[in-house]
Amino acid sequence: MAWYNDKSRKTYVATYKNEKDMRGDVEEAVKFGWTLQNSAAIGGHINVGRTVAPAVLTGGLSLLFGASRSKDKVTVTFVRDERWLARHAVDEALRGYRDVQQGMRDGIARERSERDTLEARIKASEEIDGFEREAPEKDLETALKQSIKTTGSALEQCQKMPAKAAALREALQQATRVGADLPQMSFDPDAEALQVKADIDRLAGWLRQEQELLTCQQNTMKLLHEWQEASKKEQQANARLEECDRRLLGARTALENASPDRAEKAGKTAREADDERAKRETELNHARNQTAGCVTFLDGALRRKSELTSRLLQSFASSTSSQEAGPAVTSGPVTSPVATTSEASAASGDILQQLERLAALHKAGALTDEEFTSKKTELLSRL
Angle at 167 between CA 164 and CA 169, to 5 degrees: 110
Top-confidence residue, 121 or 190? 121
Which structural domain range is residue 354 located in? Answer: 341-383
Q: Is residue 330 part of a domain?
A: no
Residues 173, 314, single domain; the answer is yes
| Judgement on whether residues 241 and 114 belong to the same structural domain of the protein | yes
Same domain, 74 and 92: no
Reported as a pLDDT band with limits 50, 70 and 90, residue 53 is: very low
Q: What is the pLDDT of residue 333?
A: 37
Are 98 and 216 within one domain? yes
- Is residue 53 in some structural domain? yes
Whole-angstrom distance, CA of residue 383 vs CA of residue 381: 6
Q: Do 74 and 106 lie in a common domain?
A: no
Q: What is the pLDDT of residue 197?
A: 92
pTM: predicted TM-score of the whole model, two decimal places: 0.64
**Domain-terminating residue out of 80, 96, 120:** 80
Task: Give me the mean pLDDT over the 206-213 stretch.
Answer: 96
Question: Where among 80, 113, 131 does a domain terminate?
Answer: 80
Residue 319, H or E segment? none
228 vs 383: CA distance, rounded Å: 31
Residues 242 and 304 in one domain: yes
Using the predicted structure, report yes or no on whether residue 285 has a pLDDT greater than 90.
yes
- Co-location of 215 and 363 in the same domain: no
Mean pLDDT value across the chain: 79
Q: Same domain, yes or no, for 155 and 174?
A: yes
With cut-offs at 50, 70 and 90, classify the pLDDT of residue 1: low
Say yes or no: 264 and 382 in one domain. Answer: no
Report if residue 334 sits inside a domain: no
pLDDT at residue 227 is higher than 80: yes
Q: Give domain status of residue 195, yes or no.
A: yes
CA distance linking residue 7 with residue 85, whole number of Å: 8
Average pLDDT over residues 74-90: 86
202 and 315 both lie in a single domain: yes
Claim to verify: residue 69 and residue 169 sit in the same structural domain:
no
- Identify the burial level of 371 via C-beta atoms within 10 angstroms of its C-beta, where 0-12 means exposed, 13-18 middle and 19 or more buried: middle
Counting the structural domains of the chain, the total is 3
Q: 203 vs 59, which has greater pLDDT? A: 203
Q: What is the pLDDT of residues 357-373, one digit of tens each?
A: 666 666 655 566 776 67
Same domain, 66 and 107: no
Question: Amino acid letter at 247?
Answer: R
Query: Given 48, 80, 112, which residue is the final one in a domain?
Result: 80
Q: Compute how many other C-beta atoms are within 10 angstroms of the C-beta atom of residue 244.
A: 21
Share of the chain above pLDDT 90, in %: 43
Residue 153 pLDDT level (bands cut at 50, 70, 90): very high
Residue 335 lies in a domain: no
Is 33 part of a structural domain of the chain?
Answer: yes
